């Protein structure tokens, strides 16, 4: 299973164990998630008024 994942990552062209790229992806996901959550909350508040 792990080897399959490792081969898949290699086929994408970047190393699964390359921590900086993994860290950047996590940061982007968190930023997008927070942004979407704020938009969602704002829309819910607007509907209730």
Tokens representing residue 47 in the block: 């509907």
Higher-pLDDT residue of 42, 8 = 42
pLDDT value at position 23?
84
Compute the distance between CA of residue 12 and CA of residue 27 in angstroms, rounded to an integer: 20
Q: Closest Cα to residue 17, out of 26, 27, 6, 25? A: 6
% of the chain beyond a pLDDT of 90? 35
The pTM for the full model equals: 0.48
If one counts the domains in the chain, the total is 1
Domain that holds residue 13: 2-48
Mark residue 13 as left, alpha or beta (left: phi above 0; alpha: psi -120 to 50; beta: remaining). Answer: left
pLDDT tens digits for range 2-24: 566 666 666 666 555 566 777 88
DSSP alpha helices (H): ranges in the chain? 2-12, 19-48
Compute the distance between CA of residue 46 and CA of residue 49 in angstroms, rounded to an integer: 6
């Amino acid at each position: 299973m792990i080897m399959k994942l490792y081969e898949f990552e290699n086929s994408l062209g970047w190393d699964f164990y390359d921590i900086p790229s993994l860290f950047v992806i996590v940061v982007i996901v968190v930023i997008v998630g927070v942004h979407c959550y704020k938009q969602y909350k704002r829309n819910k508040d607007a509907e209730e008024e």
